[in-house]
Amino acid sequence: MSDPIPPARIVLTTISGPDEAASLARSLVDERLAACATLIPAVQSIYRWLGEVEASTETLVLIKTTADKLAALEARLNELHFYQVPEFLVLDVESGSHAYLDWLHASLKTPAVQGPGAEPKKSDGAGGQK
């Protein structure tokens, strides 16, 4: 029997444009709060704000993380985001490839100090190694 897959989460947020989304995503990945963030530009959002129906073109950000990172991720997203009420919706990952989920969890851990000459493999961002 294989090892159980640790819980993973996908967090949804939107932000005004691709440059802001890229900056947010890079910060979250750099800080190991997200293993990966996928940016989907030019989504149309229709919502009620201050009593009026509004429409905006935004960038959707899909953030891949783990359950134990959610509180810190939400706090940091609120610090970095300039919306008054940033979207922060968490979806449970019911299933996924064991290899990808292992990579996701490994990406969120602080790396061990490596000896001289040790060079880590680079990820292609989708869980594969280069």
pLDDT above 60 (res 121): no
Q: Considering only the top CATH level, what class is 8-107?
A: alpha beta
Domain spans in the chain, listed from the N-terminal domain onward: 8-107
Question: What is the pLDDT, as a whole number, of residue 111?
Answer: 74
Which DSSP category does 122 fall into?
P
> Whole-prediction pTM value?
0.81
3-state secondary structure 27-46: HHHHCCCCCEEEEEEEEEEE
Q: Please name the amino acid found at residue 79.
A: E
CA distance 3 to 24: 33
Which DSSP category does 31 fall into?
T
pLDDT tens by residue, 70-101: 999 999 999 999 899 999 999 999 988 989 99
